[in-house]
A = this chain, B = another copy of it.
């Protein structure tokens, strides 16, 4: 794809020099197979034939629909908001079963907001949480095994909450990277002029069943105060590439600007060893979008499922060199904060097969905000070279009619519209 992309750049460059776009001699052929490679084309058709993997979405290995299934085996206390599970890790297959780690909260009451939080009542859904894990034989029915990483005693990092874990297997050992909170989420830290300072912490084990031993150091240092990843390194996501740890992480630029808060970028930090030192790639940020991006090795490169937030939300992207991501496809109804079953996540394959499923979370699972919690669910897809499921490659997906009308206009919007209407009638 990259080579063809460069060729198209050169072609466009030449076109630009000539100041005039060439026209073809004949109309576009009926059959795709009859399209000559050097045919002058409109920009859109050039993308179809040169930028994307294939001119038909059906033939694009990096396009998929997502289908969701409720999980069996998890207890949520009848949905009263006192038990929550969210932010699942990648899923690994060990000892004849699947393993997943996730943020687990079990508190006397649901989240109370930062003003009402105390030693036992949580501010947010991920406050006062621990990293728990579960196993499954089939990926649909799960058995919760209990805690993996507990909160250490105060004032050790994470004493308030440990959350948003991801798993790495490297040279026979298992590593969990996660966020360590020292205050209820949402608390303002006056000394640091910041909310939610939660550095990346790390625990190690010889078996996926633990025991997990915390490594007490900051694994990925924050950027300086003038740098894009100042104070914020979230969602650490480790993969193995070229014998090294490639860890992608989320941060955000210019967060003090209220309008900026939903622009998320992703950086890349590389290390020879899971404990570091991690060196940030100089071209970071390497992704311009994505609140809870999921990455997985694909062919010789890495692919990313970019869900909510940012200028390229709702896309699937690909970086052959693990750094320079291009849009591979646009899709819809993407999983939120998913953890992938990526068999090649740590195999360092030069032709990774891709993925077909994972777990994601569903926030606001409670009947109302007073019973707020999150639950885990499963998604299936076809982003795999070996699976070929055309029913997962549809692009004519309409939502149920009632859904559209759930997102109505605000009073303010109705007023603006009415005012514009009246002005138009007056101007007649």
Q: State whether A407 touches B228 (Cβ < 8 A).
A: no
Q: Give the copy number.
A: 2
A227, chain B: closest CB distance, angstroms? 4
Contacts of A56 in B (CB 8 A): 259-260, 263, 311
- A413 near B226 with CB under 8 A, answer no
| Residues of chain B contacted by A254 (CB below 8 angstroms) | 30-32
Binds B, one of A82-90, A185-193, A397-405: A397-405
By the criterion CB–CB under 8 Å, are B285 and A253 in contact? no
Q: How far is the CA of A294 from the CA of B243 in the complex (A)?
A: 49
Interface-centre pick from A65, A312, A319, A364 (highest chain B CB count, 10 A): A312
CB neighbors of B among A377-428 (8 A):
377, 379-380, 387, 389-391, 394-401, 403-410, 413, 416-418, 420-421, 424-425, 428
Number of A positions contacting B (CB below 8 A): 128
Residue of A259, A404, A410 contacting most chain B CB atoms (<10 Å)? A404
Given contacts A23-B282, A68-B405, A380-B409, 10 further A-B contacts (CB under 8 A): A32-B254, A34-B226, A42-B325, A45-B286, A57-B311, A69-B405, A69-B408, A137-B425, A332-B332, A362-B404
A sample of 18 cross-chain residue pairs with beta-carbon separation below 8 angstroms, ordered by A number, consists of A9-B13, A24-B283, A29-B253, A30-B225, A30-B230, A43-B325, A45-B288, A55-B263, A57-B263, A65-B407, A96-B428, A289-B395, A333-B403, A356-B420, A362-B401, A362-B404, A377-B404, A380-B413
